[in-house]
Amino acid sequence: MKFLVYRFVPGRDARPRMQRYEVALEPRDRMLLDALERIRATQDDSLAFRRSCREGVCGSDGMNINGRNGLACITPLAGLREPVALRPLPGFPVIRDLVVDMTRFFEQYRSIKPYVIDDAPPERERLQSPEERGRLDGLYECILCACCSGFCPSYWWNPDRFLGPATLLQALRFIADSRDRATAERLDHLNDVYRLFRCRGIMNCTEVCPKNLNPARAIEQIKLHMSKMLI
């Protein structure tokens, strides 16, 4: 199978290049990550990419696959157009080859205080009705792979100030949590022309989310929560 892989080491290489590989796959190589491991094991051990769980849970191997962001470990090789073009997540600074710098992404994640805030905790556990718990469905499943943020033009133009779809989906996860007592502060923090309102609703995020979540809808819901606070 033929691959074209983005190669770049900042500081060493003058500019990025696309390196061609042709690899003989074995029957058990079913996912794109298997092919990358095969290339590294048999042809080029200098090729850098992240991986960990290899089953779509850790979100480490987000990359641009034939022009579309996705996780290498759950992308079947069957059906991929050849040569398979692999690039790092667009809009993220490259550390080496397919490995990108996620520092800013996780700083933005931290900025929305991704934990339940309750200054007066109860004597026992915080109870939730099934309906209240149900409001977190479609939100808590996010694995922070950044495939959505790396496919969002608004995030490409303003990555330092727009929080991006992944972080905003996580923000709604805590706004929607019935146990959280900081909803007003959270909404106030997001009510900013850059942090939330750079989203143009083009829905690239929803299109590429490997977990089939809907960050675009989450962003609209945050705006509706804000509007409801006015009444």
Phi/psi of residue 102, nearest 5 degrees: -100, 10
Cα 12 to chain center, whole Å? 28
| Contact range with another protein by CB under 8 A, out of 71-79, 99-107, 138-146, 190-198 | 190-198
User: Coil, strand or helix: which one is 63?
Assistant: strand
Q: Taking the complex as a whole, how short is the minimal distance between the CB of residue 225 and another protein, in angstroms?
A: 10
DSSP 65: E
Q: How many residues does the chain have?
A: 231
| Contact range with another protein by CB under 8 A, out of 71-79, 99-107, 137-145, 184-192 | 184-192
Judged by CB under 8 A, does residue 192 bind another protein?
yes
Q: Please identify which residue in 94, 198, 208, 213 interacts with another protein, judged by CB under 8 A.
A: 198
Q: How far apart are CA 65 and CA 186, in angstroms?
A: 35
Judged by CB under 8 A, does residue 223 bind another protein?
yes
Q: Which is nearer to another protein, 44 or 192 (CB)?
A: 192
Judged by CB under 8 A, does residue 191 bind another protein?
yes
DSSP 167: H
Residue 53: which of 145, 117, 131, 170 has the closest Cα?
145
Q: Taking the complex as a whole, how short is the minimal distance between the CB of residue 215 and another protein, in angstroms?
A: 17
Judged by CB under 8 A, does residue 188 bind another protein?
yes
User: Coil, strand or helix: which one is 191?
Assistant: coil
Q: How far apart are CA 149 and CA 106, in angstroms?
A: 12
| Contact range with another protein by CB under 8 A, out of 9-17, 25-33, 108-116, 194-202 | 194-202
Q: Taking the complex as a whole, how short is the minimal distance between the CB of residue 153 and another protein, in angstroms?
A: 9
Name which of residues 134 to 173 contact another protein (CB under 8 A).
Answer: 154, 157-158
Q: How far apart are CA 187 and CA 171, in angstroms?
A: 9
Tokens at 78, concatenated: 């069957």
**What does the binding site for another protein look like in residue numbers (CB under 8 A)?**
154, 157-158, 188, 191-194, 196-198, 200, 223, 226-227, 230-231
